[in-house]
Structure 1
C-alpha cells in the first residue's frame, strides 16, 4: 500500500461504511497491507457479521458512527463508502439517503482538509441515470430524472462528486472519485433487492426467479475482489489523478442470461417468472474502462461464472447457518 504516515509507524485508514459489502472487503485488504483501520458504520445497512472475523485484530477498530455528523479522528487516508447502495435500502428513507450522500461528503471532506489525508469517494454508475450512450464514458453527463424515485441516490452521489471537486479546487484536498458499476460477491446482503442476490437466494430455495421486464435489459457485473483492487489502485495513484474513473466489468450480460446461468450453476428447479419492469430502471449499463486501464493499470480478471460460483457458495452457507440457528 502506498499510503504513508508522517507521524506513525503504520498509516491509519478510515473506511466509512466499512461494515457494508464492499467496505468490509476494503477493511480486510487494508489490514493485509499493514495499515491500521478504523471502520465507521451506523449499521443501517452494514452488517457486523461482515467484519466479525476482523474484530480480534489489534489494528482494527470499529466506530458506530453516522457520517451525517462530524467524526474527529487522526487518519492518513479516507475511503468514503457510507450510503445505502441498493434501491430497496436507499428508497426506504430517501431524504436520509440524500443527506448521507451530501452531508456525509461534507463531513468527510472536512476531515480530509483538517488532516491532509487523501480521500476516495465511492460514487456510482447511477450518476449516468438511464444512459443514452453505450458504453458509458466518464465525460458523459448522464440522463437522470431529478424528481424520480431513484433521484435520492443518483442526485445525492452527483452532488457529492461536485463537492469533492470544489473542495479539491478551493482547498487543495487530494481526492479520488470512483464510479462503481454493478458489483457482486460474498457478503452481499441477501435482502438488498439486487439482481444477483435475488436470483441466487431464489434459486437456492427453488423459488420462482422474478425477472422484471422481458429480460433483455443488460448489466455488467464486477466481482468484488476485482472492484476492491481497482479502488485500492485508484487510491495509490499520484495526486494529479482525481477521476472520476469508472470501475467495473465491461462485459455485458442480459438479465435473462444471468438468471439462466444461476439456475444452471445452482442446479435449481426454479422457473422464471416475469413481472413488470420498475419505473426508471435503466435498460443498459456498461462501463468504458479505458481510463482505468490507462491510469490505474487495472482491469477485472474474474470470469462471471467463476465469481457466481463463489457467491453461490457464500449464500448457500448463509442459508445453512440460518437453518441451523432455527433448529436450535
Structure 2
C-alpha cells in the first residue's frame, strides 16, 4: 500500500459495510464509522453512533477524512412502497448531509448506488441521491465516485421480520429448515450475483485509483442467472426437502428483469481480477447460515 487512507464508512454495521470495514482495516487504513447502532469492530479509529440525518454529527465524523464511503440507507423494494416519506428523508436528505460534509471538510465521496432504475421507492430515492452526487461534483467540485453493485450475496446478510426480503439469504434460511421456498413470478428473471468479498475488494481498489475519481461503475460479474437457477442451486447445496411455491410479483419489481453488469467502465481504470464463482460463493454462504442455525 502506498499510503494510509483515513476513511469514514457510513452504514458500517450493515451487510456490505461490515465487510468493507474489515477489508479497509486489513489493508492498513484508518477507519472511522458512523451508524445508528454501535460498531465495536476491533481496529476502528473512532465509532460515531449517529444517524445520517444528524448533519452536525455527519460533519464531525467527516472531519479529517480522505474518503467517505456512503452506504447507509433505508433498504427494501416492496417493503418501502408505503414508506416513501421516510425513504426520502434517509436516502435523499441523508445523502445531501453527507455531500455537504464532504464539501465543507474537503473529503472525497464514494457513493453506493444501485443499477436498475425500477419504479419503486428505493430505486427512486437512490437515483435522486445519485443525481445530487453528480450536482455536487459539477457545482462544488466534490470528488465523487459512484458504484452500482448488482445482487450482492454472502455471509452476514440479515434475514427475518423487519428486514428487506432478499432472495438468497431468505431462500437459504428456508431451505435449511425445509420450509417452502417462495419464487415471485416465473422465476425466469435474470440478475448478476456477485459475492460480497468481490464487491468490497472492487470498492477498496477503486478508491485507491486516481483514474476512478468522478466515474460511475457497475459492480458485478458480467454474467447472469435466473431466480430458478439460484433456487435449484440452494436446494442442492442445502440438501433440502423444501418445495417451491410460486406467487405473483411483489410491488415495485419487474417480472422481465434481465440484469447484468457492464464492466466496460471499470476495466478502463483497473483490472477487475477473478470473481468468486456462484457455486463456491453460495456454498460459503450456505455454511455461514447453517452454522447460525445450529
Structure 1: stretches of 5+ with no match in the other structure: 5-9, 130-144, 321-328
- Kindly tell me: are residues 32 and 240 of structure 1, through their superposed partners in 2, closer, same or farther at Cα, counting changes over 3 Å? closer
Which residue of 2 is the match for residue 77 of structure 1?
A: 67
Which residue of 2 is the match for residue 107 of structure 1?
A: 97
> Which residue of 155, 173, 184 corresponds with 2:124?
155
Which residue of 2 is the match for residue 40 of structure 1?
A: 34
> Which residue of 171, 175, 179 corresponds with 1:207?
179
Matched ranges for 1:173-188 at <5 A: 173-188=142-157
Residue 313, structure 1, aligned to residue 287, structure 2: yes
SS at match of 2:240: coil
Output the CA distance in 2 between the equivalents of 1:302 and 1:251.
Answer: 12
Output the CA distance in 2 between the equivalents of 1:90 and 1:17.
Answer: 18
Which residue of 2 is the match for residue 293 of structure 1?
A: 267
Output the CA distance in 2 between the equivalents of 1:104 and 1:201.
Answer: 32
Cα root mean square deviation, aligned = 1.9
- Kindly tell me: are residues 93 and 205 of structure 1, through their superposed partners in 2, closer, same or farther at Cα, counting changes over 3 Å? same
Output the CA distance in 1 between the equivalents of 2:29 and 2:81.
Answer: 35
Which range moves more in the overlay, 185-194 or 79-88? 79-88
Which residue of 1 is the match for residue 159 of structure 2?
A: 190
Report deviation, 1:299: 4.9
Report deviation, 1:240: 6.3
Output the CA distance in 2 between the equivalents of 1:319 and 1:63.
Answer: 31
Report deviation, 1:117: 1.3
**Alignment check: 8 A CA contact 1:293 1:299 kept:** no
Structure 2: stretches of 5+ with no match in the other structure: none
SS at match of 2:133: helix
Number of matched pairs: 284
SS at match of 1:124: coil
> Which residue of 125, 130, 135 corresponds with 1:166?
135
Q: Deviations over 1:47-83 (max 9, x none)?
A: x6xx65x2x43x4432111111212132221000010
- Kindly tell me: are residues 293 and 239 of structure 1, through their superposed partners in 2, closer, same or farther at Cα, counting changes over 3 Å? closer
Report deviation, 1:94: 2.9
